[in-house]
Structure 1
């Protein structure tokens, strides 16, 4: 009788917490992936694993977390927290050894004071006005339940099997996108202008769905890209706010393709 050898599943560490989400619905995105085993770990425990020793046995890291923000601060929430030096060193070491990273949705807001982190991700969402790459910027914008058309820009392994255009209803960000540093994959048909978004800073001050006095310039409609982060492949996908997107077959294909692509360097 011939011996049948099954290829071991790709092992993925999924870092979560920092932003509300439906854990069961989000976990279902990974449960349907053939040959991929996902382990979900909450922050701050996940940060302790983001180093070569902690991720021994894992093939890739998925970021669906939003660390470095204290939403329970008595005034001016969220307060920004500095990443621990061990995390800075460990995360850099992961990228230097080629560990692939897939960052989803609100991960763009994590570790707001860690410039290198956002250089690696390819953009940043800000809860307060601040400075990005030496220039003053306003807080970012958010818009929930936006029905928009997603256009695939490139014939790439991450977009393999997707139609040229598909529709999502999801939250969008008017945020900083470092377009010159990334390889574009997806653009949105939505208007990324001030009048279509709400101020994040006003929201955390108790004024949800408000833009009074917030004069944010028009931003990028790029919502998916790849990037080389040191020796690692990285993919950022802005979609992913809630169950309707989690259940969308095109979104699930994107996330699965992204995981397989970022691990290819290490598993080939």
Structure 2
């Protein structure tokens, strides 16, 4: 089933690792896009593809990875796991160079939590999920929240190529986050009707410490209701989709349409022209 007419030159690199997922079910979504050519690579091998020579073979990168943390080790800075890992300098420079060149980027679900020691990454994505207390745009914040298997309704907020063909409202059963979106710097595509209050979520840091489904001693302000957004950085069009945790979502036709649209749009010249505009 093809949701979108791709140009034959639209090749996509899908990056994974750092968070468990059902590989067969996840890649079945990409296989369902009959006109899409893609390949996948795991972190840390994925870092090599940001170099100019290799990146030129792909018009779009899809991030379903979560690098930048060692969950098995406490961080010397605060004694808490995960230990935060700085990206290599060459990787950072290659990434930023691609942003200036106008590469297309789609970030999925837990990619919101990647590279917490590199603030520019959160700015690029347009938000941040924290596995332990840290800084968000320079302000101290508690660890973020999560809740699995939430049935919620998403509403299309913006008529945009990424939302074309979707019903005005549709439901998903998926993991949701109590996290941060930089509302002043993104264009909202979808919003959720779920109540993003701390009493409806569990602490990510408690989970890292082995206490799943706990919020003991944890406090968090209301989080973003946004389920997807678009933004631009440098000359690059960027889409973030909060949905995408498990097989039920991967197989959902609305999720697949949303993902296909996002890939097609950031791969398009239209999106690049928009990103280059003032």
User: In which range does the TM-score fall when normalised by the shorter chain?
Assistant: over 0.9
Change (3 A) 1:7 1:128: closer
1:102 equivalenced with 2:106 (yes/no) = yes
Secondary structure at the residue paired with 1:159? coil
Shift of 1:54: 2.1
Give the equivalent residue in structure 1 for 2:13. 13
1:223 equivalenced with 2:237 (yes/no) = no
1:210 equivalenced with 2:190 (yes/no) = no
Give the equivalent residue in structure 2 for 1:123. 127
Shift of 1:267: 8.6
Q: Over aligned residue pairs, what C-alpha RMSD do you find?
A: 1.5
Shift of 1:55: 1.2
* Cα distance between partner residues in 2 of 1:243 and 1:174: 21
Deviations 1:190-248 (A, max 9, x none): 00000000000111011110011111111110110000021100000000000000000
Alignment check: 8 A CA contact 2:13 2:38 kept: yes
Give the equivalent residue in structure 2 for 1:156. 160
Secondary structure at the residue paired with 1:158? coil
Give the equivalent residue in structure 2 for 1:185. 189
More divergent stretch after superposition (71-80 vs 189-198)? 71-80
Give the equivalent residue in structure 2 for 1:171. 175
* Cα distance between partner residues in 1 of 2:9 and 2:35: 4
* Cα distance between partner residues in 2 of 1:177 and 1:267: 23
* Cα distance between partner residues in 2 of 1:150 and 1:52: 38
Alignment check: 8 A CA contact 1:228 1:234 kept: yes
Alignment check: 8 A CA contact 2:235 2:272 kept: no
Alignment check: 8 A CA contact 1:9 1:36 kept: no
Shift of 1:155: 0.7
* Cα distance between partner residues in 2 of 1:89 and 1:158: 29
Alignment check: 8 A CA contact 1:10 1:35 kept: no
2:199 counterpart (195, 200, 206): 195
Deviations 1:53-75 (A, max 9, x none): 22121110000000001112267
Give the equivalent residue in structure 2 for 1:3. none
Deviations 1:27-68 (A, max 9, x none): 111111132111110000011212322212111000000000
Give the equivalent residue in structure 1 for 2:276. none
Shift of 1:98: 0.4
1:263 equivalenced with 2:248 (yes/no) = no
Matches within 5 A, 1:48-87: 48-73=48-73, 76-87=80-91
